[in-house]
Amino acid sequence: MLLFTLPLLFAIVHSSANDVLELTDNDFSTRIKEHEYSLVMFYAPWCGHCKKLKPEFEKAASLLRSHDPSVTLAKVDCTEAGKETCNKFSVSGYPTLKIFKNGDLSKEYSGPREAAGIAKYMKGQVGPSARNLLTKEALEDFLKEADVAVIGFFDKDSKLKDQYLKVTDRLREKFRFGITHAPENLEEYKEQVVLFRPKHLQSKFEPSSVIYKGDILEGLDSFLKENAHGLVGHRTRDNAEDFSNPLVVAYYSVDYVKNPKGTNYWRNRIMKVAQSFAKDFNFAVSAKDDFQHELNEFGFDYVPTDKPIVLARSKDNKKYTMSDEFSIENFETFLSNLKEGNLEPYLKSEPIPESNDAPVKVAVAKNFDEIVTNNGKDTLIEFYAKWCGHCKKLAPIYDELGEKLANEDVAIVKMDATNNDVPAPYEVRGFPTIYWAPKDSKSSPVTYNGGRELDDFIKYIAKHATSELKGYDRSGNSKSKEEL
């Protein structure tokens, strides 16, 4: 008997991989036309990002397997059998994802890169933007799905129906929309749009559905964004951008698949307190394993408890941690102090250097105001990472720049942005990032995008310095006859 079951087991284990079509130059144009909607991943086998995406892509294919209308996921190897196809569709980086409809390129894929997000995004791309719910059973089945449901209840000749469909077309990638004209579905709601929370997120602390009462074209977008996640939303990697500051997040073992009861045990306690602060903060729960990078930003390399870790960001993005162990009482106290401004923000910082006499000053988070903001000088500041090759190449040039301008009314500063919080309004998205901050307008620094040789820096600083440099004219030429 075992001999007969093993092949079947093997097929089941590999089903997700088999859900993804492997296309080549020989069959792409013919096979892609067989599918009304397709998402194609153009990849290179050696590409690290492709290797990371591959299992998510395969899992998304299995999630979409039974969706109506069908969505096909396919892949093309751009280094071997799919070179011509990749060139045809102007693939210049890996992985590149594109959406096809009936074999023709429809649009670039701009959605998430993890399985659930890919599946949700593609479901929003296909078929009508609002599912037509013809019966009461169809409505009930629609409400059983795991995402927020938005449903328009309209008579067939309703003037509001067309307005509703215009909004659903615009927001189809964000929300799951339905529409119904069935008389049995119009008994409770008629000529109304209703947002329904998924069953696993329903709670006694807020209504399970919310009726929209404003102008559909003018206000429905804002209503949905404000109410979609409720009092305490389930924040995932897929929807994290939906949650804006001021934001309070409870991180713990959030898992609505394997442990919905345990997940809601803590969420309900958070909601009990959050309802009193709903006008002051946005709230969410997140799986700590999915957001370890955020925990690291607050100094948590390891979470030694199963209880929620509560972290917050103010409207101006300052960070706050609830240091006491989670309890309803401690959480309420934390929020009250946060609201009243009685808490010191958490600052990730290296120690302040014991000596800071070198021509290039070292800034850390704890002395940033002293070294940069309030130093009374024009300032050039480099945000770097110790592992960054470009930063290592720049280091001797930057040190020489500091020496050249040691006697000027200009500060040359560097800061390790991986070990220190970077204060607003500075933003670091790559290394090195360099800013010029004039002494009279430190609140409005400008990004330095010039060359990175010594002369490039000197010419820039000479031109933009508040007062002309002692050793250089405005063109960056040395005033010293000896140097001439």
Nearest to 111 by CA among 173, 55, 54: 173
Q: Do domains 232-340 and 360-464 have the same CATH topology?
A: yes
The active-site residue, picked from 171, 362, 388, 454, is 388
Nearest to 115 by CA among 44, 64, 173: 64
Tens of pLDDT, residues 332-387: 999 999 999 999 999 999 999 999 999 999 999 999 999 999 999 999 999 999 99
Strand pairing category for 309-313 and 319-321: antiparallel
Domain 13-123: state its class.
Answer: alpha beta
The active-site residue, picked from 21, 50, 220, 311, is 50
The active-site residue, picked from 391, 401, 405, 415, is 391
Domain 232-340: state its class.
Answer: alpha beta
Phi, psi of 339 (to 5 degrees): -65, -40
Residue bearing tokens 């204060």: 423
Q: What is the mean pLDDT of each run of 10 residues along the chain (484 residues)?
A: 40 55 95 94 94 94 88 95 94 94 90 89 87 95 93 94 93 91 94 96 96 95 95 93 96 95 97 97 96 92 88 94 96 98 94 96 96 96 96 97 96 96 92 95 92 96 96 91 47
Is residue 78 annotated as part of the catalytic site, yes or no?
no
Determine the Cα–Cα distance for residues 303 and 299; give it in Å rounded to an integer: 10
Determine the Cα–Cα distance for residues 276 and 166; give it in Å rounded to an integer: 36
Look at residue 237 in the predicted model and tell me its pLDDT.
86
Determine the Cα–Cα distance for residues 178 and 36; give it in Å rounded to an integer: 21
The active-site residue, picked from 17, 47, 182, 240, is 47
Cβ atoms of 417 and 429 closer than 8 Å: no
Cβ atoms of 256 and 233 closer than 8 Å: no
Determine the Cα–Cα distance for residues 71 and 122; give it in Å rounded to an integer: 7
Cβ atoms of 287 and 262 closer than 8 Å: no
Tokens of 113: 């890169």
Residues contacting residue 462 through CB under 8 Å, at least 6 positions apart: 468, 469, 472, 473, 474, 475, 476
Q: Which helix (H) or strand (E) holds 264?
A: helix 260-274
Helix, strand or coil for residue 480? coil
Amino acid code (one letter) for 428: V
pTM over 0.85: no
Considering only CA atoms, give the Rg of the chain.
28
Q: What is the CATH number of domain 360-464?
A: 3.40.30.10
Determine the Cα–Cα distance for residues 107 and 96; give it in Å rounded to an integer: 12
Is residue 86 annotated as part of the catalytic site, yes or no?
no
Residues contacting residue 38 through CB under 8 Å, at least 6 positions apart: 32, 71, 72, 73, 74, 99, 100, 101
Determine the Cα–Cα distance for residues 70 and 225; give it in Å rounded to an integer: 28
Residues contacting residue 423 through CB under 8 Å, at least 6 positions apart: 365, 368, 373
Q: Where are the domains of the chain?
A: 13-123, 130-227, 232-340, 360-464
CATH for 130-227, among 3.40.50.2000, 3.40.30.10, 1.20.1440.230, 3.30.460.80?
A: 3.40.30.10
DSSP secondary structure letter of residue 325: P
Three-point CA angle 459, 400, 404, nearest 5°: 60
Tens of pLDDT, residues 375-430: 999 999 999 999 999 999 999 999 999 999 999 999 999 999 999 999 989 999 89
